[in-house]
C-alpha cells in the first residue's frame, strides 16, 4: 500500500516515514504544499496524510484539489488546529479523519489501518477469525466466502487463491508468485491454469453490480481490492 505524507516538520516526517515503512507501507514524503499537491494529483496512493498548515499550498487546498479531480483516496489530516470549526472545515473539504498534534504513534497507525480497511485496500481478521476485505468475508477453514448476504462455496484452490489475494490486498501479485503459492515446484501446471482459476473465482465473488475485486495488471499479474482501475 502506498501512502503520501506531506508535512513541513522534518523532525516528524522523516521518523514517521520510517515507522510506516517498517509497518509494510510504501511512503512518499513531501515537505511543502506545492510538491505535495503535484504528487497527490499525479501519483497513485492508497492514503494521503496531510499537515494542514504548509508552505506553498495548505493541506486543505491539496485535499480540495484531489476531491475536485474525483479521487476518493482517503485523507487524514495531521494538525494543531483543534477547534470545532477547524474540524468541520477539514471534513467539509473532503478529509476522512483528523488527528490533533501532538498525537500517539499507535493511534495514528490505528487510524491508518482503519482508513485503508474502510476503502477496501487493507484486510483484517474479524471477531470470528474470518478474513475480511471491504464487503467480502472469507472462512478459509471451511472454504466458504460471504458477500452481501450470499454464501459462496469455494474449491480448495479457489479458497487458497482468495486467501492469498486478501492477505496481500493492494499489492501486485505476479503469475510466478501465485503459481509458487498454490503449487509446489514438482506439480506446477501450465500458466493457463491460473487465468482459468481466476475466471472461476471472479464469477463467484463478483456477481451482478457488485464491485470488482480482482484486477488484471496486464503483462504483470493481478491486484486485489476495491480502489483500482487496471482491470477490463
What cell numbers appear for 40 in the block? 497527490
Q: What average pLDDT does range 163-175 have in this prediction?
A: 87
Other C-beta atoms lying within 10 Å of the C-beta of residue 69: 11
- Specify the higher pLDDT residue, 119 or 44: 44
Confidence of residue 62 (pLDDT cuts 50, 70, 90): very high
Confidence of residue 54 (pLDDT cuts 50, 70, 90): very high
133 neighbors 123 (Cβ within 8 angstroms): yes
Residue pointed to by grid coordinates 495488471: 217
119 neighbors 46 (Cβ within 8 angstroms): yes
Closest to 14 (Cα-Cα) out of 36, 29, 32 = 29
Distance CA 23, CA 5 (A): 15
Distance CA 149, CA 143 (A): 16
Question: Does residue 138 sit in helix, strand or coil?
Answer: strand
pTM exceeding 0.75? no
Domains of the chain: 2-118 (3.40.50.2300), 124-224 (1.10.10.10)
Q: Which helix (H) or strand (E) holds 224?
A: strand 221-224
Amino acid at each position: 500500500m502506498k501512502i503520501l505524507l506531506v508535512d513541513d516538520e522534518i523532525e516528524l516526517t522523516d521518523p514517521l516515514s520510517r515507522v510506516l515503512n517498517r509497518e509494510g507501507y510504501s511512503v512518499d514524503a513531501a515537505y511543502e504544499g506545492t510538491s505535495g499537491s503535484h504528487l497527490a494529483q499525479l501519483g497513485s496512493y492508497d492514503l494521503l496524510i496531510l499537515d494542514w498548515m504548509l508552505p506553498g499550498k495548505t493541506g486543505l487546498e491539496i485535499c480540495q484539489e484531489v476531491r475536485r479531480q474525483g479521487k476518493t483516496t482517503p485523507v487524514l489530516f495531521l494538525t494543531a488546529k483543534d477547534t470545532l470549526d477547524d474540524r468541520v472545515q477539514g471534513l467539509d473539504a473532503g478529509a476522512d479523519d483528523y488527528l490533533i498534534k501532538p498525537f500517539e504513534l499507535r493511534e495514528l497507525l490505528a487510524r491508518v489501518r482503519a482508513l485503508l480497511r474502510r476503502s477496501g485496500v487493507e484486510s483484517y481478521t474479524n471477531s470470528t477469525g474470518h478474513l475480511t476485505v471491504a464487503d467480502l468475508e472469507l472462512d478459509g477453514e471451511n472454504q466458504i466466502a460471504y458477500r452481501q448476504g450470499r454464501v459462496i462455496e469455494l474449491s480448495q484452490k479457489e479458497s487458497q487463491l482468495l486467501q492469498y489475494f486478501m492477505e496481500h490486498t493492494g499489492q501486485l501479485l505476479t503469475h510466478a508468485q501465485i503459481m509458487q503459492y498454490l503449487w509446489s515446484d514438482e506439480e506446477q501446471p501450465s500458466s493457463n491454469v491460473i487465468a482459468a482459476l481466476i475466471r472461476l473465482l471472479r464469477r463467484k465473488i463478483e456477481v451482478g453490480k457488485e464491485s470488482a475485486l480482482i484486477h488484471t495488471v496486464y503483462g504483470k499479474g493481478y491486484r486485489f481490492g476495491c480502489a483500482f482501475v487496471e482491470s477490463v
